[in-house]
Chains A and B, each alone.
Chain A
């Protein structure tokens, strides 16, 4: 569709602006042109009409006047378009334009045949023509005709430019008015977060916009309900599963020690983990209503590492930034434990590094495991996504740990990114602030 070398602008704003402006400028130009040509034609009519009667009168007057008085009268008979010259005038050629011929005819007619007229055009001087005739006393008279329009008024270009500016301004304003709610709608959709009760879109304004805003707010409500429902369903399922799983676990434990018993207990723990993680994931998107508080960063990270060390896990703090941050401590703790558990599962140990750059805090969980293929780094943050080879069910895990961490990080206003480390292993970075 696109013509080569002619780029249709990308934004609706530019397109609308372009269409409106082009249309208005062309329409404006057309009406101006029509007006101008109409004026031109009528002016020409008037000029030729006056030429005929004027010239007849003027020639008659000059003819009657004594030769000595003629120069005095010249200014009175001269007109803007033509002057009388007492003399032979300039040499010319007989060829002339249609307009020249028209003028020549009129002058010939005006002279009423009493004075033979010879009309010549002056080459190289536009449409200038000169009519040569001889008065009754034998002296030559030349009518020098400059067929031109009365010059357009000095102020006209300024008015035109002013009008053009007015058009641009109006177009820009109209486009802005039309686009702004669209941008606001886009922003609102971008900021849509069922966890937080952000203010609804303003439903005032022109009818169409109010309708769109109402529809958007209603959609927002529906999404919030869906999320709520999802949490409730998962909570109900997971809750109702607790009792049968507990029974089965207890029953299995009562049985005599055997391979079967061990396998059954393993399966049951797997089911249990899945149920719990599923619920945790559903909640993570929903937010747990925890309030943000000022937390001392150093002790937060250190106590977390100690909790792991006290259960015999290799978790060390490489670098710890001091100071306090305002965050939701339980959520952040859950994020970090999920990342550390992951690191331990695939790398055997985890290292923590906390850096601070003014208000931004970056907490890194590092391992020396196999890492994740670069093209999968984002996918593993989605629920139930596991890597085919190393991170399969065999290694345990529900495929929800990272998803929960991701959702919770977003819920506390942070970002979680994964990257592969130089020399192998994974680095998970939580940025807050």
Chain B
């Protein structure tokens, strides 16, 4: 029904990895172009557009982080980027997300996992109405008496104390603050908050919302942040502002 074939650009300096990934993704119905470094990537993107870019962090010449920042500043700023980090490390993940990547995957990865992640990112970017605010540019987002650190993925209260969030709680809150004053239905929220193991286990959105309200000290009967819209879904009622932009 949809004739569009997603076009993926893979930037990795290892020839064999490029070829293997390319073969696997093509076999799974994607269109793939490969580039060994940033120079080739730039040349290709001058004349073409793609649906998603898989970007290795360790590249000869300009590394993936530099390229990612460059992409975010140019005409391809809307193209989602999936970073391949060298290791499953907190700092790498944080830097990658800081540079504007939409997701990351640690090497060595399984091809299956890469495919699932590509699909999730694509689904996520298409699912939502465009962000009302470009919160990607913000490291610290502020609403009410709270601040949300989007790199460390935790809340900071008025006294500066860190209030931790589980992965699912963070993803849900992030969807809300990205779409303030907009009613989001449960299907949208569920899709957007699914984590890696989401296929295995699903938490109902209502439970997640109630946990999140607890974290925000939001009274469930008279919530000031996340309001229930009867038979429709939820709406994030507080205005969100970017407190601290990314460098």
**Chain A contacts to B: CB under 8 angstroms:** 238-239, 242-243, 245-251, 253-254, 265, 268, 272, 276, 279, 288, 293-296, 299-300, 302-304, 306-307, 310-312, 324, 329-330
Contact = CB atoms under 8 A, between A and B. Distances in A.
7 contacts: A246-B108, A253-B112, A288-B91, A296-B162, A306-B211, A307-B168, A310-B195
A248 B58 CA distance: 19
A310 B199 CA distance: 11
B90 interface: yes
A296 B108 contact: no
A279 B164 contact: no
A12 to B, nearest CB: 47
Which size class do B's interface residues fall under?
35 or more
Given A251-B20, A253-B24, A312-B201, A293 B87 contact: no
B78 interface: no
A310 B167 contact: yes
A300 B165 CA distance: 7
A249 B200 CA distance: 23
Nearest to A301: B164
Given A246-B17, A246-B109, A296 B164 contact: yes
A307 B20 contact: no
A10 to B, nearest CB: 48
Given A247-B16, A303-B169, A239 B164 contact: no
B147 to A, nearest CB: 13
B131 interface: no
Contacts of A242: 86-87, 107-108
For B24, B109, B159, B162, which residue has the most chain A Cβ atoms within 10 angstroms? Answer: B162
B120 interface: no
Contact of B161 (A245, A296, A312, A330): A296
Interface string B77-109: 000000000111011000000000000000111
Contact of A310 (B87, B112, B197, B215): B197
B3 interface: no
Contacts of B108: 242, 245-246, 248-249, 268, 272
A310 B201 CA distance: 6
For A268, A300, A303, A330, which residue has the most chain B Cβ atoms within 10 angstroms? Answer: A303
A250 B20 contact: yes
Contacts of A293: 162
B23 A299 contact: no
For B16, B86, B166, which residue has the most chain A Cβ atoms within 10 angstroms? Answer: B166
Task: Tell me what chain A mostly uses at the interface: helix, strand, loop, or mixed.
Answer: helix
A254 B110 CA distance: 11
Given A247-B17, A249-B108, A276-B87, A310 B168 contact: yes
Contacts of B86: 239, 242
Contacts of B45: none
Given A294-B160, A330-B90, 7 more contacts: A246-B14, A254-B20, A254-B23, A254-B111, A279-B87, A312-B197, A329-B154
A206 B164 CA distance: 53
Contact of A295 (B14, B109, B162): B162
A303 B166 contact: yes
A276 B88 contact: yes
Contacts of B203: 310
A299 B17 contact: no
B21 interface: yes
Contacts of A306: 166, 168-169, 211
A400 to B, nearest CB: 14
A305 to B, nearest CB: 8
Top-5 shortest CB links A-B: A250-B20, A306-B166, A246-B108, A303-B166, A245-B108
B84 to A, nearest CB: 9
A294 B156 CA distance: 10
A94 B91 CA distance: 110
Interface in B153-206: 154, 157, 159-169, 195, 197, 200-201, 203
B23 to A, nearest CB: 7
B166 A304 contact: yes
Nearest to A289: B91
B87 A238 contact: yes
A279 B106 CA distance: 14
